[in-house]
Each structure stands twice: as structure tokens, then as C-alpha cells.
């Protein structure tokens, strides 16, 4: 129980900090694109700005996350709109509230047991943490 409380306090501190770190709409879009990459080839294309070489499925998915980031009522609060916390909240909100799953079990596996949602959420967390420390330079990967 003590470990859970410690993690809870640590996450609260991180999210409170992120809610004060400003991020622009183009930076949110780039962060989402980087968090959602399924493989190295897509990552190279995103980094090189080769939008035409990205699959329609990938582009549609990143657009859905970005649309959620820009239009969800949860994204219009002071702590989320234009903040790193908002970017993280948008991606997690997409997987919890927008993305379709075959059934509840598939959703649970995706979110909690090493599935796509968990992997993309972790990638987003790492990107948000880097952005909070280094700013937009963290979105330019070599």
C-alpha cells in the first residue's frame, strides 16, 4: 500500500508540473505522431516529414487522437488546453474513450496488459517527460 501511495504522489507531482508546461498545437501533433509510431520505418518517415509515405491507417489514427486533443471537453480545461498534461491526457483519452475494441476483454488487454494502448501511452509519457524538461528540442530525434 505504501508503494502505491508513493507512486500516486509522484504521478500527481509530474502531472501538476506538466499542467504548467505550455505546448503549441503543432508540437502536440508531432508528439502524438511520435507516440503512435508502430515501427522504425514509420518513425523515419515522421522524422523526415515524409507524410506521403505514411499509411492511411497511421494518418487516420493520429488525426483521431489530435482531433480528440483539440475538441474534447476534457481538453478545454485550464490544466489541459495547450499543456503537456493535455497532450498526454488526449492520447490516453483516445484509447479509453474513442478507439473501438472487439470487446471489453480486448480493451482491457490493450490498456493494461502490454497491448497497443499501453505501449503508446508509455511512449507518450516518455515524450511528455522529455518535453517538460527540454522543450520542443525533444521532439526532434536523430
Query: Does 48 have pLDDT greater than 60?
Result: yes
Total count of domains within the chain: 1
DSSP assignment of 50-79 equals -GGGS-HHHHHHHHHHHHHHHH-GGGSSTT
For the residues 39-58, what does the mean pLDDT come to? 89
Query: Does 1 have pLDDT greater than 60?
Result: no
- Tell me, what's the pLDDT at 114? 81
pLDDT in tens, 95-135: 988 888 899 988 989 888 888 989 999 999 999 999 999 98
CA distance 14 to 23: 16
Asked whether the beta carbons of 131 and 21 are under 8 A apart, the reply is yes
- Percentage with pLDDT > 70 across the chain: 94
Query: Does 4 have pLDDT greater than 70?
Result: no
Range of the domain at 8: 2-139
For 43, other C-beta atoms within 10 Å of its C-beta total 14
Query: Does 142 have pLDDT greater than 60?
Result: no
Residue 22 phi, psi dihedral angles, 5° rounding = -80, 145
Q: Which helix (H) or strand (E) holds 91?
A: helix 84-93
For the residues 19-48, what does the mean pLDDT come to? 92
pTM: 0.84
Amino acid at each position: 500500500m505504501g508503494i502505491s501511495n508513493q507512486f500516486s504522489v509522484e504521478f500527481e507531482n509530474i502531472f501538476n508540473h506538466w499542467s504548467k508546461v505550455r505546448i503549441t498545437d503543432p508540437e502536440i501533433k508531432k508528439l502524438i505522431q511520435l507516440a503512435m509510431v508502430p515501427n522504425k520505418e514509420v518513425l523515419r518517415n515522421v522524422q523526415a516529414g515524409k507524410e506521403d509515405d505514411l499509411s492511411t491507417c497511421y494518418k487516420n489514427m493520429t488525426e483521431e487522437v489530435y482531433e480528440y486533443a483539440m475538441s474534447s471537453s476534457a481538453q478545454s480545461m485550464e490544466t489541459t488546453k495547450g499543456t503537456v498534461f493535455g497532450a498526454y491526457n488526449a492520447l490516453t483519452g483516445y484509447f479509453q474513450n474513442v478507439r473501438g475494441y472487439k470487446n471489453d476483454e480486448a480493451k482491457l488487454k490493450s490498456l493494461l496488459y502490454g497491448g497497443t494502448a499501453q505501449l503508446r501511452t508509455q511512449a507518450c509519457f516518455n515524450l511528455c517527460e522529455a518535453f517538460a524538461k527540454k522543450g520542443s528540442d525533444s521532439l526532434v530525434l536523430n
